[in-house]
Structures are given as C-alpha cells and as structure tokens.
Amino acid sequence: MLLVVGGVIAGLIVLGSLTPDTSTTPDQATQSTTAAAGQEPADTTAARPPATKAATLGTPIRDGKFEFTVKRIRCGIQRIGSTYFNKRAQGQFCLVTTHVSNIGDEAQTLDASNQYLFDRAGRRYETSDANAFLEGSKTFLEEINPGNAVDGTLVFDVPKGFAPSKIELHDSAFSGGVHVAL
C-alpha cells in the first residue's frame, strides 16, 4: 500500500512538471491589461532616439564617433554619373557636401543610408541609390579609421520645388543623431 501511495505522488510530480507554466510575469500582465483595454502594447524593439543637437552650415557637430561639417547643399541636378553608368532623378537630386572626421578610438563605417534630409513641411527623405553612381562620393559604406577624415557627398532624390530645412546625420543606425540647419 505504501508503494502505491508513493507511486501516485511520484506520478503527480512528473505530471506537474510536464504541464506548461501559465503564470504571467509583471510585464506580461501589463501587456495583457493594456491589450484588454483596447490599446496596443508598447513596441519594445530598439528604436532610434530622435536627434537633439543642431548646427548650421560650416559648423562642426558631433554624433558618436563622428564629427560632421556640412559644407554646402546644391539641388536641381537631373542626372548623376558617367555617360554609360548613370542615374536619372525621379524629381531632382540634392547633393549635400560633408566633411566627416572619426573622433573615436576605432574604425567606424560611414553609411549614407543613416543620413536624412528634411523639407520645410517636416517630410523626411532618405539617400538615393544614386550615391553609387557619384564618382568619389565617399559616403557609401566608407570605413574611416580613428583620426582620419573624408570629404563626401550625400545624394537625395527629392521632388521639384523642394525646399530643404535641415539634414539629420548619424554615426550609426542606432545613434541619436544631430541636425544641421540648411
């Protein structure tokens, strides 16, 4: 009889360990309550924080391991590249000439796709794949060693009549970024 009782207890312990845990953590309970109240749970994925610092043309400004100086902006370009290797703008190209210094302690890659141009209405424009057609642009995945700097051009395809207000520059996809008023 004692063996039967011991076997039943052992069986219950084994069954208890096989059933899934249905308890919730405090975070899960909050998400369930929020969802039950008709609200979407907060997105917990890493998002880029908004750019906070600002400068003007010709003024150096730092973000992470890079110090950026925007030298000039020139819009109204219809085609970029050589005779046989070129790209036509959907609207017009705006070229933003920059000087980028690595002020960090290790190499850092400058990626044109982490830079954004804004118009006066606050619309954000990403760099164009035309960067690849611009000879010597030095902004397309350019690795810069500590203490070195490059002069490069960012290419944006924007509508005709575009009025630039600022550019947002980042040392990486996850940095806070800085603004330069145009």
Q: 43-57, 89-103, 137-151 — which is least confidently predicted?
A: 43-57
**Domain count for the chain:** 1
Amino acid at 176: G
What is the average per-residue pLDDT within 90-103?
98
What is the average per-residue pLDDT within 150-165?
97
Unique residue bearing structure tokens 């906070």: 52
154 within 8 A of 134, measured Cβ to Cβ: no
Q: 26-30, 73-77, 163-167, 174-178 — which is least confidently predicted?
A: 26-30
Distance between CA atoms of residues 182 and 178, nearest Å? 13
DSSP-derived secondary structure letter, 63? E
Per-residue pLDDT at 65 = 97
Average pLDDT for the chain: 81
Per-residue pLDDT at 101 = 98
Distance between CA atoms of residues 31 and 18, nearest Å? 26
E-strand spans in 39-107? Answer: 53-56, 61-63, 66-81, 86-102
Residue 7 has pLDDT above 80, yes or no: no
Q: What is the CATH number of the domain that holds 139?
A: 2.60.40.1240
77 within 8 A of 147, measured Cβ to Cβ: no
68 located within any domain: yes
130 located within any domain: yes
Per-residue pLDDT at 93 = 98
Per-residue pLDDT at 24 = 42
What is the average per-residue pLDDT within 93-101?
97
Q: Which residues contact 27 (CB under 8 A, 6 or more apart)?
A: none
Label residue 23 by pLDDT band (50, 70, 90).
Answer: very low
34 located within any domain: no
Rounded alpha-carbon distances, angstroms, from residue 78 to 15, 40, 83, 99? 72, 44, 13, 24
12 located within any domain: no
7 located within any domain: no
Label residue 51 by pLDDT band (50, 70, 90).
Answer: low
Distance between CA atoms of residues 73 and 65, nearest Å? 23
33 located within any domain: no
Find the domain containing 123 and state its range.
Answer: 53-181
